Structure 1
């Protein structure tokens, strides 16, 4: 799965009839479709840089706990430049990044055990399309408010949103197949919740969780 989503990319088209056939064949896809159809209702990026609400603090703590970094401190990034700098210094081999990669690999394995390759591909394409469209539109609006001219910053933010949405969809699939998967408290469920609260979780480096 991609780490970047270029805001200039063409949104992949999904044939509703094909997905409908798969949905009837594999009921596990119903939850993913419902999740994807709600992406345009999410407040992507609507509260960037604002002081954290109690809901934001609570969700951030839950995300860090699920990730395995409960002692990390929440650091609110006040400007797009600060967020870009934090994103540019992101260490793709950091313990936090590796923890997310391990979690994603586990979900992929569990989902592949119960879904055909075609069904899983369609589910991921649907989520990517819907999340990409919604996050791209939201970033265009907030980018104008913040006067964000850098396409690279927009790409990174939208890419992070799309990847998180995709991972959250994998949580639903894995959870529907395996009761041991705690869907409500999974690290990617909590990370998507931060986007739903209008924030951009940028990175966890050392003992600091950077949130814009």
Structure 2
């Protein structure tokens, strides 16, 4: 399974594998540009590339083995990714903490010290990316593409979260919904990076949303910042 070690790997993926949803979205988007919904010589080409990358991401979301590594010791590369994510989001002094099992994950998700400023930072970044993406893509096409990605991730992640939690002796439907919702949100955020073509950031720096999605690809469940700790399951 391809990992988004750099978000451009999905943007430039030339995999010939297709599915019906991807073909429909590409056809609808092609028609939008043919009808002149996007102006500018290069605008349609750039946006079409972005939306096709989003469609490929939706297909990838259906193949990810969500939550496959939860409860296992953190790999050094995963710790490095988590540290990069929180630092680039604006929290360089936050440390990474491993969550041991689904019961501990439930406690972390409900912790009263949960950081609102972490959520606010993500939301500000999401809004900025959305505005960038809307400058490039027709709004109806973009909304359809983003919804498709998050729906696909949620559908697959929910079942896998339920299986993983059951193996850990937990049958908390609310927690399972939280896990699936987090996966859907991460997929949506990664799709925005592609749609906004934010992979052109200076140097080799990666967008925090791309790094966060990579943690999910690795089978992890990021649970957010509580106090001075970023909890990673």
TM-score by length of 2: 0.77
Q: Confirm or deny: 8 A CA contact 2:55 2:145 kept in the other structure.
A: yes
| Distance 1:111-1:182 versus aligned 2 partners, 3 A rule | farther
Partner of 1:22: 28
Q: Confirm or deny: 8 A CA contact 2:220 2:232 kept in the other structure.
A: yes
> Following TM superposition, by how much is the alpha carbon of 1:103 offset from its aligned partner in structure 2, in angstroms?
0.4
| Distance 1:188-1:196 versus aligned 2 partners, 3 A rule | same
What CA distance in whole angstroms lies between the structure 2 residues aligned with 1:124 and 1:71?
A: 32
| Distance 1:92-1:109 versus aligned 2 partners, 3 A rule | farther
Q: Confirm or deny: 8 A CA contact 1:174 1:181 kept in the other structure.
A: no
- Secondary structure in 1 matching 2:196: helix
What CA distance in whole angstroms lies between the structure 2 residues aligned with 1:163 and 1:23?
A: 23
Gaps of 5+ in 1: 1-13
- Secondary structure in 2 matching 1:203: strand
The number of residues matched between the two structures is: 198
> Following TM superposition, by how much is the alpha carbon of 1:114 offset from its aligned partner in structure 2, in angstroms?
1.5
- Secondary structure in 2 matching 1:70: coil
What CA distance in whole angstroms lies between the structure 1 residues aligned with 2:193 and 2:101?
A: 31
Structure of higher RCO (CA pairs closer than 8 Å, 6+ residues apart): 1
- Secondary structure in 2 matching 1:188: helix
Partner of 1:4: none
Residues 144-192 of structure 1: per-residue CA shift (max 9 Å, x gap): 211221100000010001001001100111116x844889611111111
Q: Confirm or deny: 8 A CA contact 1:171 1:183 kept in the other structure.
A: no
- The aligned runs of 1:1-212 (5 Å cut-off) are 18-24=24-30, 25=33, 26-89=48-111, 94-175=116-197, 179-180=200-201, 185-212=206-233
Identify the range of structure 1 (162-171 vs 67-76) with the bigger mean alpha-carbon deviation.
67-76
| Distance 1:43-1:163 versus aligned 2 partners, 3 A rule | same
Q: Confirm or deny: 8 A CA contact 1:194 1:201 kept in the other structure.
A: yes
| Distance 1:182-1:108 versus aligned 2 partners, 3 A rule | farther
> Following TM superposition, by how much is the alpha carbon of 1:101 offset from its aligned partner in structure 2, in angstroms?
0.7
Residues 72-117 of structure 1: per-residue CA shift (max 9 Å, x gap): 1111111212111211236676221111011001011111111112
TM-score by length of 1: 0.84
Query: Between Structure 1 and Structure 2, whose CA radius of gyration is higher?
Result: 2
